[in-house]
Structure 1
Amino acid sequence: MTYIFEKIDRVFSHLIFREKDPIDRARIKMLSYILILYPLFTGILILAYLITGETLHLIRVVFVFTGTLSLLAVAYFTHAWKLVSHVVLFICGLVIWSNLLVYVQGIDLETVQCIWLGCMLSFYMHGSKWGWIYSMIYILPAVIFTAFSSDRLFNLGINPTDQSQISYLFVISYNFLLIIFLHYYFFKEFNRNFLSLTHTKNELKDLNSKLKLSLSEVEKLSNARMEFLSTMSHELRTPLNGVIGMSNILLLQNPREDQEENLALLKFSTENLLSLVNNVLDYNKFDWNKVELENVPFNLSALIKNNFYSIKQKAQKKSLQMVLEIDHKLKDVSVVSDPTRITQILSNLMNNAINFTENGTVSLCVQTKDISDGKMKVHFIIQDTGIGIEPNRQESIFEPYVQAASNTTRHYGGTGLGLPIVRKILGMFNSHVQLESEPNSGTKISFDLELDYEKLPVSKTLERLKGVTDLGHLRVLVAEDNEVNKLVIKKTLEKWNIVPEIAGNGAIAVQKLEQENFDLILMDLFMPVMDGYEATKTIRKFKDPTKASIPIIALTAQFDQKVAQKVLKATMDDYLSKPFNPDDLFKKLNTIANRKVEVYT
């Protein structure tokens, strides 16, 4: 018998192994046994009824025989085993009803067996919901018949339709065996799965008991660390935004020479602090794989120049000569990559070169290589005449919190995270650092970046507006809850003759936009009552299409790739991280102004 069932399992294996649930696999096996064995059973009955001349029974059994063969074909060639099982249960109901109305006109043993078999099979095949439905379909007719039957409740004989004793005995014996088999098989499968799950559970329990303490501690430490860094990112950048922002504003207000020197020192120190904070926060993000590269178009030549000239003042204070060489092929080229991470690479390497060079030269050379098919390999070289690095220390300086010598931090400062961050970012670009250095002879660091590129279009509108600093025609709504940040943004915008409207939270910003017209919204992300995300979603649902499509630039001190994705998903147009560079804000505002000019020209 086991051999027969194994053969049946092989025939239906393509259906069985498509199911991941072991209970569903057992259901398919059980259905396949019924569909294969029933034609044999009904085939024997057809011969018996032909011999005995029991025409009425012969008609029903031929119907069941052909129906079972059809269902067998459907189940084999399709995956509709659930539909086939419903049809089987429907046929079982027809047998019960035909017994009550035609063949027996009462309730005999065969009818009771069919009710029992149908109820059991419906629960096994489809669970409790369908089990109850089919059970009611099978049982209610029998109960109703019994309630209205006055002469006899049960007919265990073979009247009123004549049927031979042998065929009747064969039918009820087969039904009993099928019922017993289904109970046995489903119990066996249930028991096997239960034992397997119990065994697996015990193994996992033992393993979990061994790892539970260590994993719990690691998870707590990880969560606490990431939560702390997330909080610190926002809490540190917010006051730094105020200091740097006010320094920029005061420098733009024509200070006296002595004031300008003090403000420049204040700005330099604060930006240096911001760089250190960013390095600590960013390295932990890299360490936990929380960083992804962006892909946005930008002018690489302009980015390099901005980075170079932003730290040139630092070099001039040490009387160092700064040299910049950029391949002319990059002048009118737009590359698609991550400008923030490229800036981070250049900033860390250039600052390192200046920090460790007391006299001489620091140079940045950018060359193009292998330009073809919309891709460009760019070669960067940062070289200095500084203290150099001993050969046995050159590899270790790329490890976190390690510097070239034990007294490096005391003499030159730094966290020891700049070069490890550079290596991690370059790894994301599928690149690596090449280092050449000798003690007291300087250091040369080079790397390659393969970037997608395209020629920049010539924009007459941009040329016409180049050098324009008066953006007073723009109506700007600022959503910001921090008082210092409000003051910084307000004074920054006023330098370009913009008089902003200030809203203390997202809800007020939405209300103001409903009442007035604006050209742009600067939206802080984290505010009480209604944050920037929710305010943006509300604005985008405005009935007025002009207000619904207003440009929105997100401002946030807690900025990373996830925040950037969330900002864009919230249908904001752009974003700036705090502390922001006024030049970066001006460029974005100027872009909005250009769009307005293009509309009217």
Structure 2
Amino acid sequence: MNKKANFFNFSINKILSDDLSVLDNARLRLLYYGLALSFFTLLIILTNVVVKYQVILSITTGVMFVSSIVLFKYLTYRPRWTPIAHMVLIIATLVNFADIFVAIHNISIVTVEAVIMIMLFGFYMLGKKYGTLYTLLNVVPVSILLILKHTNGYLIPFKPESVDQSTNLIAMVASFVLIVFMHSYFYTAFIRTIKELEIGNKKQRGLAAEFELAVEKAERSSEAKSEFLSTMSHEIRTPLNAVIGMSNLLISGNPRPDQKENLEVLKFSAGNLLSIINDVLDFNKIESGKLVFEHIKFNLPELMQNICGGQVMSAKVKGILFKLDVDSTLSKKVLVGDPTRISQIVFNLVNNAIKFTADGTVTVKATCVEDRSDKVIVNFCVKDTGIGIEQSRLDVIFEPFIQESLSTTRRYGGTGLGLAIVNRLLELQGIKIKVSSVPGTGSEFSFNMEFPVSAEVVETPVASRLLDIDEFTESLSSIRMLIAEDNPVNVLLMQKLLSKWDLVPAIAENGECAVELVRENDFDIILMDLQMPIMNGFDAAKAIRKMDDPHKSNTPIIALTASALFDIRERVEESGMNDYVSKPFKPNELFEKIQQLVVHS
């Protein structure tokens, strides 16, 4: 309903609306002017048939006359063209039926015009479905009457009334005017609609072009953001590598108690900074949509032990009891999934539990809730007796950069990305995490994850084991190592670290020098930085792999990278390198990778 229309309205301008289409406004105009014309036409015909005492025609014309007044008034008050159009067609059909079968017992030119007008009105106003219906309702009775007249079988106890020429003439003129009027308005409406569609199509094409430009701009922005984060990661990780590495070296050099305490604080602070950087980079990787889940075999109890091993010490320092309970039915099963992402999820949950628990217990459980021949469903649960979470905050704690409250952020620190990363990683796998918490009592986070089960049987390793550092150090002095690194601080750090293992490496300040040194000398292993001047680590590795001498081309290469590019693993493999270590690296991690590639190669 148009708000400008009221019961006393007679203006067409108050029932038209910009919210309606051109076609619907044309329908309103047709009804308005058509009913007005019908009113005056029927008034003249009604006067004529009443004067001549034609009772049936007077009744039918009178019904139509009154109907035109009522419908016109209803249209100007409530401009609902659909029900009004139905009423017009129903009344016209009934009157037409009464006229030809009761009043005149015949088919005249006026009757034919009336049928044509009803047919056009039905299609224009109500569309194909109702246009066909009202056409049949009028054509079929006319056809039946013609057949009956032809067979002389029509008989009704009413004397037919004759329609004089003046009445026929008035009706014919009115019918022609209405038909012309209908065609004129709807032709104009169709032309305007087509023009509007053309304009709309042009706008749509323009919007599509703008959308493509916006998407392209967004992609470039995303790439620029990723490159920026990668660059910043490299620039921040490089000095952090030196800070953490030197701290480890100094701590291992038997410092005085007060010096050791200071070094531990330095190492802890650098570790926190590294953790923040890792959270931001991990979240960016997830949000970029470039994260791909692996499907590799792993042993869940062993993985849980590795995840929680370091966390046990953190809990012990705070005086918290740490419990890990892994279902014994999982010990002999080889599962297929992404152990890296599982580690990330469980680690963040456990880390949060320890962070927000001052005393009491942190319990981590992995329970097999459904065991089938080819699949298992495991419930992971991390429960603590920490500060808890308010019920009103349970929905927002998974949003990035948000913690339970501002006071929590001030007291415990952190980026607020841990739970956001957990939630996103689970959502990408179609998993919903459940949270139950009571402020001051503790929290419980749990989720179910389904894993395919490999037919492979878990075997306890017997002979194959890595030597510890003390055992392996005796043979390190004979290893010929090349380090390709352009940062002098990192070179100094590596030399100091390796000197503890009685190893003196050769140094190349860029990738080109590294290739020349490999060509001129024999090395057992190469530690290759990736971002170097003149020739980067990727190109240097490819050049080494293309050497004719198989001993040189097959030299194990470990990439040392502070980069956070999403495809770093793939690029390392594509360039022919054997493995990579992220800076800042842990000495034990580097030690194990060297041992695996040199001793067991």
TM range (shorter): 0.5 to 0.7
Report what 2:258 is aligned to. 258
CA RMSD of aligned residues (A): 3.0
For residues 118-197 of structure 1, the aligned pairs below 5 Å read none
For residues 286-435 of structure 1, the aligned pairs below 5 Å read 286-297=286-297, 300-328=300-328, 335-373=335-373, 375-435=375-435
Distance 1:389 1:520, change over 3 A: same
Whether 1:283 aligns to 2:283 is: yes
Report what 1:149 is aligned to. none
Task: Report the CA distance between 1:538 and its aligned residue.
Answer: 0.7
Q: Deviations over 1:87-129 (max 9, x none)?
A: xxxxxxxxxxxxxxxxxxxxxxxxxxxxxxxxxxxxxxxxxxx
Distance 1:524 1:203, change over 3 A: same
Task: Report the CA distance between 1:398 and its aligned residue.
Answer: 0.8
Q: Equivalents in 2 of 1:363, 1:509: separation in Å?
A: 50
Q: Equivalents in 2 of 1:482, 1:297: separation in Å?
A: 38
Report what 2:59 is aligned to. none
Distance 1:203 1:220, change over 3 A: same
Distance 1:199 1:483, change over 3 A: farther
SS in 1 for 2:494: helix
Report what 1:474 is aligned to. 479
Whether 1:533 aligns to 2:538 is: yes
Whether 1:545 aligns to 2:547 is: no
Letter in 2 for 1:428: L
Q: Conserved in 1, the CA contact under 8 Å of 2:230 and 2:564? A: no
Report what 1:591 is aligned to. 596
For residues 211-226 of structure 1, the aligned pairs below 5 Å read 211=211, 218=218, 221-226=221-226
- TM value normalised by structure 1: 0.60
Task: Report the CA distance between 1:282 and its aligned residue.
Answer: 1.8
Give the unaligned 5+ runs of structure 1: 1-197, 597-601
Q: Deviations over 1:527-584 (max 9, x none)?
A: 1111111111111111111211111111111134411111111121111111112222
Identity rate of aligned residues, in percent? 44
Letter in 2 for 1:595: H
Letter in 2 for 1:553: I
Task: Report the CA distance between 1:370 and its aligned residue.
Answer: 4.1
Q: Equivalents in 2 of 1:390, 1:507: separation in Å?
A: 59
Q: Equivalents in 2 of 1:239, 1:268: separation in Å?
A: 15
Q: Deviations over 1:330-359 (max 9, x none)?
A: 557665544433332222212211221111
Q: Equivalents in 2 of 1:431, 1:222: separation in Å?
A: 27
Select 1:496's aligned residue among 459, 476, 501.
501
Q: Equivalents in 2 of 1:464, 1:481: separation in Å?
A: 31
Q: Equivalents in 1 of 2:494, 2:449: separation in Å?
A: 36
SS in 2 for 1:512: helix
Q: Conserved in 1, the CA contact under 8 Å of 2:222 and 2:288? A: no
Q: Equivalents in 2 of 1:446, 1:574: separation in Å?
A: 34
Q: Equivalents in 2 of 1:349, 1:522: separation in Å?
A: 34
SS in 2 for 1:362: strand
Q: Deviations over 1:464-486 (max 9, x none)?
A: 74663425133221111112222
Report what 1:524 is aligned to. 529
Task: Report the CA distance between 1:208 and its aligned residue.
Answer: 5.1
Distance 1:367 1:259, change over 3 A: farther
Q: Equivalents in 1 of 2:234, 2:541: separation in Å?
A: 21
Q: Conserved in 2, the CA contact under 8 Å of 1:297 and 1:335? A: yes
For residues 199-218 of structure 1, the aligned pairs below 5 Å read 202=202, 206-207=206-207, 211=211, 218=218
Report what 1:508 is aligned to. 513
Distance 1:425 1:490, change over 3 A: farther
Q: Equivalents in 2 of 1:527, 1:372: separation in Å?
A: 52
Task: Report the CA distance between 1:224 and its aligned residue.
Answer: 4.2
Report what 2:247 is aligned to. 247
Q: Equivalents in 2 of 1:291, 1:554: separation in Å?
A: 21
Distance 1:281 1:443, change over 3 A: same
Q: Equivalents in 1 of 2:340, 2:500: separation in Å?
A: 26
SS in 1 for 2:600: helix
Q: Conserved in 1, the CA contact under 8 Å of 2:486 and 2:532? A: yes
Letter in 2 for 1:422: V
SS in 1 for 2:595: helix
Q: Conserved in 2, the CA contact under 8 Å of 1:462 and 1:594? A: no
Q: Deviations over 1:147-191 (max 9, x none)?
A: xxxxxxxxxxxxxxxxxxxxxxxxxxxxxxxxxxxxxxxxxxxxx
Q: Conserved in 2, the CA contact under 8 Å of 1:291 and 1:560? A: no
Q: Deviations over 1:12-50 (max 9, x none)?
A: xxxxxxxxxxxxxxxxxxxxxxxxxxxxxxxxxxxxxxx
Report what 1:43 is aligned to. none
Q: Equivalents in 1 of 2:440, 2:583: separation in Å?
A: 39
Task: Report the CA distance between 1:326 and its aligned residue.
Answer: 3.3
Letter in 2 for 1:537: K
Task: Report the CA distance between 1:515 and its aligned residue.
Answer: 1.6
SS in 1 for 2:416: coil
Letter in 2 for 1:289: G
Q: Equivalents in 2 of 1:376, 1:466: separation in Å?
A: 36
Q: Conserved in 2, the CA contact under 8 Å of 1:292 and 1:561? A: no
Distance 1:385 1:506, change over 3 A: same
Q: Tell me which moved more, 365-374 or 400-409.
A: 365-374
- The structure number with the bigger radius of gyration is 2
Q: Conserved in 1, the CA contact under 8 Å of 2:285 and 2:566? A: no
Report what 2:580 is aligned to. 575
Q: Conserved in 1, the CA contact under 8 Å of 2:357 and 2:385? A: yes
Task: Report the CA distance between 1:271 and its aligned residue.
Answer: 1.0
Q: Equivalents in 2 of 1:449, 1:489: separation in Å?
A: 42
Q: Equivalents in 2 of 1:276, 1:397: separation in Å?
A: 17
Letter in 1 for 2:321: Q
Q: Equivalents in 2 of 1:334, 1:517: separation in Å?
A: 40
Q: Tell me which moved more, 545-554 or 254-263.
A: 254-263
Q: Equivalents in 2 of 1:311, 1:479: separation in Å?
A: 34
SS in 2 for 1:502: strand
Letter in 2 for 1:206: G
Letter in 1 for 2:408: T
Q: Equivalents in 1 of 2:599, 2:462: separation in Å?
A: 10
Q: Deviations over 1:398-433 (max 9, x none)?
A: 111222123221111111111010111223344332
Letter in 2 for 1:390: E
